[in-house]
Amino acid sequence: MKSYILKRILSLIPVLLIVSIVVFMIIHLTPGDPAAVILGPEASHEDVKQLQEELGLNDPVYQQYFHWVEGVFQGNLGDSFFMDKPVTEAILEHLGPTISLAILSQITAILIALPLGIMAARKRGTATDQTFMGLSLLGISIPHFLFGLFLIIILAINLRWLPVAGYKPLSAGFWEHIKYLIMPAIALGTGQAALIARMTRSSMVETLNLNFIKTARSKGLHERKVIYKHTLRNAFIPILTVIGQTFGTLVAGAAVTETVFNIPGIGQLIINSVERRDYMVIQGTVLMVTLTYVLINLLVDLLYGVIDPRVRLKKES
């Protein structure tokens, strides 16, 4: 087990290296630079050039890269050109909204997905099943941000139940905090719910066909007990995997939705930083996001092993 974890962690190194090189290359291929953005629309060309020089933007790219990597190994992601603070601080400030949103979306997703998936599995083959699965496919087919826009038109503009967009931290009060996150959480959660529901259904169906469930039934066990105690528990591993993966994508894949709802999270930080050409922030954030993403996947894989020894054995061999 230990050597497996170690191997997995070591295998992250080339991934991160490639990610950082790709990001660096993309950034420096991009026209425009932070100096011009800082000085504003009416600044003269000479001033911009001077600031570029002073910010070290005219050094050769590989030199800038090594300089940056050196910093990363010392735990220093550099300073933002735009925000007068270290990149790590900027990331931490944008992490709160993203995590709140991710958790709330995931709760929404699970609340919708599990009951639907279980229902569909129990009534497999019937019209209910087809309807549910058709619905879940619809859920996958609606882009999150588009669903968000529809929610805004209905819930915020026509019914005026919820604020159009924006964000209040938890310190502004629980309800204030939640109020702004309801629509984005539904928008994101529904898509995730569809994925989880489909996995729940197929995993449940597979388990329901297994002999021990048939035995349990034939023993005259209560259907409820069969479903929730025996089947769900045994069908849970793949479901957990999907939940884990969707959570991973929520951390940064929600960028467009964050933009629609003006939530100052990680996704928006990256998009804004691309707009501002805040190189250091882009590099640092992408590195962090990638790391989180692969770590969550690793964690899910490991959990897998903890819950189901068969998996562990297979992987080790």
Partner 1 sequence: MTKRFKKLSWLITCLLLLSMALIGCSSDSDKQTKSASGEAVTKKGGDLHVAIDAQPPTLDPQISTTTATKEIARHIFETLLVLNPDYEVQPMLAESYDVSEDGLTYTFKLRQGVKFHNGKEMTAEDVVASMNRWLTKSTRAANAIGKGQFEEVDKYTVQLKIEKPTIGVLDVIASTNQFAGIMPKEIIDNAPKDGITEIVGTGPFKFVEWKPDQYIKVAKYDDYKPVDAPSDGLAGKKEALVDNIIFEVVTDGSTRLGGITTGQYQIAYQIPSDNYEQISSSSDMKPILNLYGGLSFVFNKKQGPFTDEKLRQAVNTGINNKDVLIGAFGNKKFYRLDNGLMYKDQKKWYTDAGKEYYNQNDKEKAKQLLSESGYKGEEIRILTTRDYEYSYNSAVVMKEELEKIGIKVKLDVVDWATLTSKRNDPAAWDAFITGFSPVSLPTQTLPLDPNYAGWPADEKLQQFTEQIRTAASDKDAYAKWEEMQEYAWKEYVPYIKIGDYYTFHVYRNNEIKGNTYFEGMILWNTSLTK
Partner 2 sequence: MEVAVEKRRELSDFRRDINRERRRLFVRRFFSNKLTVTGSVIILLTLLVTLLGPLLSSYTPYEMVVTSRLKAPSADHLFGTDNLGRDLFARVVYGARASMGVGLSVAIITSVLGMIIGLYSAYYKVLDHVLMRICDGLMAFPAILLAIALMAALGTKIDNVIIALAAVFTPYVARVVRSAALVVREQTYIEAMKAQGASSMRIIWGHIAPNTLSPLIVYSTFIFADAIIIEAGLSFLGVGVPAPDPSWGNILFDGKLVIFNAWWMTFFPGVAIILSVLGLNLFGDGLRDLLDPHTNHAKK
Contact positions vs partner 2 (CB under 8 A) = 14-19, 22-23, 26-27, 29-31, 124-125, 130, 133-134, 137-138, 140-143, 145-146, 149-150, 152-153, 157, 202, 205-206, 249, 252-253, 255-256, 259-260, 267, 270-271, 274, 282, 286, 289-290, 293-294
1 vs 153 by CB, closer to partner 2: 153
3 vs 42 by CB, closer to partner 1: 42
Three-state SS at 245: helix
Q: Of partner 2, partner 1, none, which one does residue 70 interact with (CB within 5 to 8 Å by kind)?
A: none
Residue 19 C-alpha from the chain's centroid: 17
DSSP H helices in the chain:
2-29, 34-39, 45-54, 61-73, 87-122, 127-141, 144-151, 174-208, 211-218, 223-225, 232-253, 255-260, 266-276, 279-307, 309-316
Beta-carbon contacts of 185 under 8 Å, excluding residues fewer than 6 positions away, are 101, 104, 105, 107, 108
Question: What DSSP state is assigned to residue 1?
Answer: -
- Asked if 110 and 244 count as a contact pair (C-beta separation under 8 A), the reply is no
Q: How far is the CB of 105 from partner 1 (least distance, A)?
A: 15
Q: Of partner 1, partner 2, none, which one does residue 173 interact with (CB within 5 to 8 Å by kind)?
A: none
Q: Of partner 2, partner 1, none, which one does residue 293 interact with (CB within 5 to 8 Å by kind)?
A: partner 2
Three-state SS at 86: strand
> For the packed helices 279-307 and 266-276, what is the interaxial angle rounded to 10 degrees?
150
Stretch that binds partner 1, among 11-19, 138-146, 265-273, 300-308 (CB under 8 A): 265-273
Q: Of partner 2, partner 1, none, which one does residue 228 interact with (CB within 5 to 8 Å by kind)?
A: partner 1
- Name the residue type at position 8: R
58 is a site residue for partner 1 (CB under 8 A): no
216 vs 288 by CB, closer to partner 2: 288
38 is a site residue for partner 1 (CB under 8 A): yes
Q: Of partner 2, partner 1, none, which one does residue 303 interact with (CB within 5 to 8 Å by kind)?
A: none
Single out the residue of 53, 51, 70 nearest to residue 62, CA to CA: 70
48 is a site residue for partner 1 (CB under 8 A): yes
**79 DSSP β-pair partners:** 86
Rounded CA-CA distance 279/33 in Å is 9
267 vs 305 by CB, closer to partner 1: 267
Residue among 77, 90, 251, 282 that touches partner 1 (CB under 8 A): 90
**Torsion sign, CA atoms 174, 180, 183, 185:** negative
Q: How far is the CB of 297 from partner 2 (least distance, A)?
A: 9
Residue among 30, 126, 130, 209 that touches partner 1 (CB under 8 A): 30
Beta-carbon contacts of 229 under 8 Å, excluding residues fewer than 6 positions away, are none
Binding residues for partner 1 (CB under 8 A):
30-48, 51, 54-55, 80-85, 90, 93-94, 111, 115, 152, 156-157, 160-167, 175, 179, 182, 223-224, 227-228, 259-262, 264, 268-269, 272, 275-277
